[in-house]
Amino acid sequence: MTNRQIVLEQLPQGKLSPDHFRLAQAAIPAPGEGEVLVRTRYISLDAANRAWMQGATYRAALAAGDVMAGGSLAEVMESKTPGLAKGDLVFADTGWQDYAVLPGKSLAKLPDLAPITHLLSVYGVAGLTAYFGLLECGQPKAGETVVVSAAAGSVGSLVGQIAKIRGCKVVGIAGGAAKSAWLKDELGFDEAVDYKAGDVRRALRAACPNGIDVYFDNVGGEIFEAALFNMNNFGRIACCGAVSQYDGAAPPHGPRGVPGLIVTKRLNVRGFIVSDFDEQREGALSDLKSWVESGKLKVLEDVIDGLENAPSALVGLLAGENRGKRMVKVS
């Protein structure tokens, strides 16, 4: 038995393609004192994977030749650390490979749920990101208008549904007529804007006759600008990511209206990453569980089979192929 690894062979200059990766083989590593050996079960795919290739973010930049970085749902195979035992499930920074050795103290045993994939979607980074970004950064009030971009994605699909649970009017921005229809028909969004169909700023104005109170931004760029121009006074923008700007060269400029409209509309624009809210995690999971169990929150998962397909699955995610949380089943 060997350890299959997906190596980022070269850093992309423009769009990412599967050719930037190669499959390698390595020996299965052995855990030292305080460490655990884990086997990757499901790799989480996220737009952030691409951002890590652009430079340092909240983690160091990736370099050519690295095993591709990524978080996974993983199973403990051998433990030399107290508190973790063979068979335990953990969320771990394994990278894209079958096996990894990690310090035990960075890992926490996850509850055993069915289906376990929910640990990567609604009860994982995506769910908590949606929850904290919307409720803590966005501070939506019942009756307000909430707009979310990348609305059919793992985070956006949850943001819109949580905003509905909180009594808001919800407008999703997504690419293509089919996704737009799906947001309304399947997820209960009030309106959907197809950003591929033309002038987003005008379409948002039509979809939000009372203006936008909360904008949950996953994309940056022109869609950010379109939302900014439709914000109400004292509106809030939760900045979660800028997927429109990850897959290519760094953008030559930013959205118009910054900072002028932020002043005149007295906006609050706040960036966050999910770990900023670790202390409030238990309460969030409890809310998410009650909504899932009562059927108020639909969990969409998009599972691609096979470690070797991770590169093309990430490229597809960056092109907006997925609905809901995309992950790769490894074992």
Closer residue to a copy of itself in complex, CB, 184/265: 265
Evaluate whether 16 touches 6 at the Cβ level (below 8 Å): no
Closer residue to a copy of itself in complex, CB, 80/270: 270
Residue 60 interacting with a copy of itself (CB under 8 A): no
**Angle, CA 184 vertex, CA 179 and CA 190 arms, to 5°:** 130
Residue 16 interacting with a copy of itself (CB under 8 A): no
Cα torsion at 115, 77, 304, 92 (round to 10°)? Answer: 90
Q: Which of 242, 300, 313, 318 touches a copy of itself (CB under 8 A)?
A: 242
Residue 307 interacting with a copy of itself (CB under 8 A): no
Q: Which of 68, 245, 307, 328 touches a copy of itself (CB under 8 A)?
A: 245
Residues whose CB is less than 8 angstroms from the CB of residue 329 and which lie 6 or more positions away in sequence, other chains included? 41, 42, 303, 304, 305, 306
Residue 257 interacting with a copy of itself (CB under 8 A): yes
Closer residue to a copy of itself in complex, CB, 29/248: 248
Residue 250 interacting with a copy of itself (CB under 8 A): yes
Q: Shortest distance, CB of residue 251 to a copy of itself, whole angstroms?
A: 7
Residue 46 interacting with a copy of itself (CB under 8 A): no
Q: Binding to a copy of itself (CB under 8 A): which residues in 268-287? A: 268-273, 276
Residue 225 interacting with a copy of itself (CB under 8 A): yes
Distances (CA, A) of 30 to 37, 56, 71, 255, 327: 7, 29, 20, 49, 26
Q: What is the DSSP letter of 117?
A: G
Q: Which of 11, 28, 239, 285 touches a copy of itself (CB under 8 A)?
A: 239
Across 1-34, where does the E strand assignment appear? 3-8, 21-26
Q: Binding to a copy of itself (CB under 8 A): which residues in 112-171? A: none
Closer residue to a copy of itself in complex, CB, 75/217: 217
Residue 249 interacting with a copy of itself (CB under 8 A): no
Closest CA to 228 of 239, 215, 210, 243: 215
Q: Shortest distance, CB of residue 9 to a copy of itself, whole angstroms?
A: 25
- Judged by CB under 8 A, the stretch of 3-11, 27-35, 203-211, 254-262 that binds a copy of itself is 254-262
Evaluate whether 331 touches 159 at the Cβ level (below 8 Å): no
Cis bond upstream, residue 259 (ω within 30): yes
Closest CA to 237 of 259, 262, 260, 273: 262
Q: Shortest distance, CB of residue 215 to a copy of itself, whole angstroms?
A: 10
Evaluate whether 87 touches 39 at the Cβ level (below 8 Å): no
Q: Which of 6, 171, 240, 327 touches a copy of itself (CB under 8 A)?
A: 240
Q: Which of 80, 184, 201, 265 touches a copy of itself (CB under 8 A)?
A: 265
Q: Binding to a copy of itself (CB under 8 A): which residues in 162-221? A: 217, 220
The secondary structure element, H or E, covering residue 284 is helix 281-293
Site string for a copy of itself, 92-111 (x = CB under 8 A): --------------------
Residue 259 interacting with a copy of itself (CB under 8 A): yes
Distances (CA, A) of 319 to 15, 50, 95, 174, 207: 10, 12, 22, 12, 25
The string of DSSP letters for 63-74 reads -TTSBPP--EEE
Q: Which of 34, 111, 198, 254 touches a copy of itself (CB under 8 A)?
A: 254
| Interface contacts to a copy of itself, rule CB under 8 A | 57-58, 217, 220, 224-225, 237, 239-242, 245, 250-273, 276
